[in-house]
Amino acid sequence: MAKVTLFMNLPPEWELRESKDYPGRVYYYNTFTNESTWIRPIPYPGYCDCWPPFVYVYHVLIKHTNSYNPTSWKRSAVVRSKDDAFLKITRISKAIIDKSETFEDIAAAESECDSHSSNGKLGWIKKGKMPPEFDEVAWRLNIGEISRPFETKEGFHLVLRRG
C-alpha cells in the first residue's frame, strides 16, 4: 500500500493511504489501533485535545480500609488491609492471565463497585472523568489489552480496554 503524505490536520496516529484495490482512492489508517476507514476521522471538538477522546473499558476494583469509600455492594464496610487488597488484585490478575477465569466473570463476582452488575463494564469514558492514575493506564492500553494492577484513591484496579 502506498502511503500518501499530505498534510490534512488529522488526529494524531491517523494517516491518509492509497487503496491497493482501488488505485487513486484513499482511506484513513490509524497507526496505533490498525483501524481503517473511508470516512475522515476528526477529533471530537470541545471534549479534549487527546486522541482518542474516549476509551471503552471494563474494570475490577478491590477496596481496602484506606480506600476513599470503603464500602461495596458486597458489604457495608470493607475490612481488608491495603496489603491484602493488593494480594487479592494480584491473584485476580494471575487468574485472568492464566485464562482460568474471564475478566467479565471475575468482575461480576469480585469487583467492589457498581459496575460488577454489568460484568465490570464502564463503557465509553472521557479522559478526565476518572482519577488521573486511571486515565493514564486506560489510554496507554491497546484494544484487548489488560492492565497490571494499579492503585487510585478508590483502591486497586485492573482495566481491560475494549475500544
What does the pLDDT look like over 132-157, one tens digit per residue?
Answer: 999 999 988 888 899 999 999 999 99
Sort 25 into a burial class: Cβ within 10 Å, 0-12 / 13-18 / 19+: exposed
**Inside any domain, residue 33:** yes
Return mean pLDDT, the chain: 84
**Inside any domain, residue 143:** yes
For residues 72 and 151, membership in a common domain is answered with yes
For residues 78 and 58, membership in a common domain is answered with yes
- Where residue 83 sits, what CATH number does that domain have? 3.10.50.40
* 0.75 exceeded by pTM: no
Q: From CA 157, how far away is CA 16, in angstroms rounded?
A: 37
What does the pLDDT look like over 21-36, one tens digit per residue?
Answer: 888 888 888 887 888 8
